Structure 1
């Protein structure tokens, strides 16, 4: 449905968590709803507004020739909690102590959130699940809350099982012991070391239990996913668990800003990247990126460099701007390999990931399995080499490798944040996984063919008549009907 002939368009407030992996899909989602005639407002802080400004401006520019309302960004000050100026986002945090201050600031955002609801009375708020207090605030203002965490349905179902049953508690005290998650459509097992340990992280465990409960009490939940990707888990989530859900993705396909979305400062290395790819044969390049929240030790970087060299494949490797000096990790001969520029290209800083993944030269993606990256790879029809670190990433690896069969794991075994140590993956294992995904063997051909099929289904889902296009329309219809009944 497109809203027409209404005195006031439906108004949705989007309230994303302060991290690029949460902000970017919300900006894309706002563009999806705005294209259907919905007035969309994004509430965030100055530094985070800069991250999505380009994408929002490009969307509004595209809307000028239509009757779609412009997307607004409402900026509120980041609370003063003793963090350095400009530290307003998770990637900028350098210690657990800064993390504690940051979450104190998150709670203090309730006051401007309350004030916006009271003054503007939106028809609904799409609030990040990590703002668990936003349900009470929305209820007090008579506004229904839709939760959005930016994860897969499979991961949310696994997380629900873990938080309700704590199966690791009864497992052997062995990091490599297999732990089954009960109550899911198919058997899902993880090593104990791949799961959050409630004894090591009691505060995190309690927080995620609260988040899960609050989301279940909300009006419903939005997912950056599509029905053909995880149909069994949509059925499980909505029927077995009784939770209301709309699948509206892949939302990145709504973006009018493939080059600079998610940043206010593209890497200077990015300009030459696409020209470099143009000179490479189709499917010959492996793309390597671990998102905005992962840090690698010098030893890990060294083994990854060895793995890329051993694989024999061309590569584009994105290394965060704060990475250690090359002299600390670069193996012998690698500098010469890079200097010639024939086999490899390193990008320091922010890369145009969607443009890279959709380039015909790219035939594989070494990824941390963050959901945004995973879904962007699916949308591009590119198979994955999976290397999860923490959060929902081990669940997403299970989905990619075991259910969808569009990837191969490197053997990552430790649930560990960027401040924690983990076992190092050897270069030989990395090279083997790349070879299995991009090589000439029968298994690689099947993985690539499956990835291509999923890419076609992903693109079809957001087109007119597709499942995600229809879910957006159904939600808009329901919210309009709710407004009419409330105002009657």
Structure 2
């Protein structure tokens, strides 16, 4: 006999991602994860951003359909007309401050289609990006709980929370103008110190501090927060968030996992992939296990020609096979090879024997999970960090801005799965960064891939096993997904 619960329609969750690849992609992966567990999931976004996530959603939907699970819907709304060029609907397409200002005006104008969707479609919860701070009240007007998602680590969120509440950067001290002065972030489970130069200076950009204060205030008013992380990765910060800060959290990651049949379709399911993307997987097939260092700095990090030259020289000096994915950043793309390739580097790339350079997007999850991978030089964006952790690959860290210096602290000092190149300066993607010498880059690669890096590699492999178990039946993230769905169903009743 059917019970009352059996007669209930499935929990319906609306996912509302911020229009930037680093936010869109984990939200899409998260939606497919919840759908596989029986939730009805809809992603609300604009046309260009829908096309970024559609291949991954279609692939997951095909798998879910075979398993008679729920599929994910993508609901497309027009991108507000704010004077941006046609097709520019996310962060990587912005070319200057004027574009950035227009873009954030568009973010405000997305409130209306968000309202309209909730008016037309009853949902049980909204998982909205923290940068849509207005979505708390907008969802409340329709009686819908808003769950915040920012796409970073719990450690970084806790560090930022401390910075906003205690504000050590503004404390008067004799060394307040010394960029190398070390500042302690108080009240955290671990002693965390950063240089002044590694944190945003509220005296120079007060509007940035004001923005984050509003965002964090609205997140505290939310029903709770969902993280692309897992309990075993940062257990002290789960407890800190719940007990010290009194916040409700669910950890459901790692949401990006290597697709069993994605390799055969990696080159033709996503228009943003480089034409060389599938070729790089075949190139890795010819290399010994653990012999290749992978270099990628995400979609927004820009490197000057001088920086690129030092990276190239460092890879040469490392005496390792290397796969270097040069992203879609404006400065990077504007620099022709002749401006930054050092003498002899072309010969390293000849016939692809020693190294391979790929411009554009590449299937990073598949690359990191390839047996040939031995190390990953990364900017410490959380998606990249978690993908490396899940694959059990040790990292060489090179943070630039945002939460990246916090993430470096987590993986280098607490988890001990990485070595740092020693980056000291926090600067936006379009600002000039301090030059890191090639010799330092090569030495850092050696620290994770040579014999002296046994402990780092062992820690990374152990953490990778825990990451994979977290999403299995009985794992911590599997449990949090189920608990959130049960709580939303109970709230409906």
The alignment's TM-score, normalised by the length of structure 2, stands at: 0.95
Whether 2:415 is the aligned partner of 1:404: answer: yes
Who is 1:242 aligned against? 246
Counterpart contact for 1:20–1:262, Cα < 8 Å: no
Who is 1:222 aligned against? 226
CA RMSD of aligned residues (A): 1.5
Counterpart contact for 2:267–2:277, Cα < 8 Å: no
From 288, 299, 311, the equivalent of 2:306 is 299
Whether 2:122 is the aligned partner of 1:130: answer: no
Partner SS state of residue 256, structure 2: helix
Q: Would the alpha carbon gap of residues 261 and 394 (structure 1) be closer, same or farther in structure 2, given more than 3 Å must change?
A: farther
1:239-290 Cα deviation digits (max 9, x unpaired): 0000000000000128675737994321111121111111111111000000
Which runs of 5 or more structure 1 residues have no equivalent in the other structure? none
Q: Which moved further from structure 2: 275-284 or 60-69?
A: 60-69
Partner SS state of residue 242, structure 1: coil
Who is 2:394 aligned against? 383
Counterpart contact for 1:385–1:410, Cα < 8 Å: yes
Who is 1:147 aligned against? 148
Whether 2:93 is the aligned partner of 1:86: answer: no
Distance 2:445 2:5 in 1: 50
Who is 2:320 aligned against? 313
Who is 2:181 aligned against? 177
Partner SS state of residue 286, structure 1: strand
Deviation (angstroms), 1:343? 0.9
From 341, 345, 357, the equivalent of 1:330 is 341
Counterpart contact for 1:37–1:67, Cα < 8 Å: no
Question: Moved runs in structure 1, 4+ residues, more than 3 A?
Answer: 254-263
Counterpart contact for 2:258–2:369, Cα < 8 Å: no
Q: Which moved further from structure 2: 61-70 or 288-297?
A: 61-70
Counterpart contact for 1:44–1:75, Cα < 8 Å: yes
Q: Where do residues 2-151 of structure 1 align in structure 2 (5 Å cutoff)?
A: 5-151=6-152
1:425-458 Cα deviation digits (max 9, x unpaired): 11011001000010112xx000000000000000
Partner SS state of residue 7, structure 2: coil
Counterpart contact for 2:179–2:197, Cα < 8 Å: yes
From 203, 208, 211, the equivalent of 2:215 is 211
Partner SS state of residue 60, structure 2: helix
Distance 1:98 1:34 in 2: 36
Partner SS state of residue 229, structure 1: coil
1:217-253 Cα deviation digits (max 9, x unpaired): 1000000000000000000011000000000000012
Partner SS state of residue 265, structure 1: coil
Counterpart contact for 2:40–2:72, Cα < 8 Å: yes
Counterpart contact for 2:277–2:362, Cα < 8 Å: yes
From 464, 472, 475, the equivalent of 2:481 is 472
Distance 1:64 1:409 in 2: 44
Who is 2:443 aligned against? 432
Aligned pairs, number: 480
Distance 1:159 1:126 in 2: 21
Q: Would the alpha carbon gap of residues 482 and 429 (structure 1) be closer, same or farther in structure 2, given more than 3 Å must change?
A: same
Deviation (angstroms), 1:417? 1.2
Who is 1:157 aligned against? 158
Q: Would the alpha carbon gap of residues 262 and 196 (structure 1) be closer, same or farther in structure 2, given more than 3 Å must change?
A: farther
Q: Would the alpha carbon gap of residues 261 and 5 (structure 1) be closer, same or farther in structure 2, given more than 3 Å must change?
A: farther
Partner SS state of residue 183, structure 1: coil
Whether 2:461 is the aligned partner of 1:457: answer: no
Q: Would the alpha carbon gap of residues 7 and 67 (structure 1) be closer, same or farther in structure 2, given more than 3 Å must change?
A: farther
Q: Would the alpha carbon gap of residues 393 and 260 (structure 1) be closer, same or farther in structure 2, given more than 3 Å must change?
A: farther
Partner SS state of residue 292, structure 1: coil
Whether 2:406 is the aligned partner of 1:395: answer: yes
Distance 2:226 2:268 in 1: 21
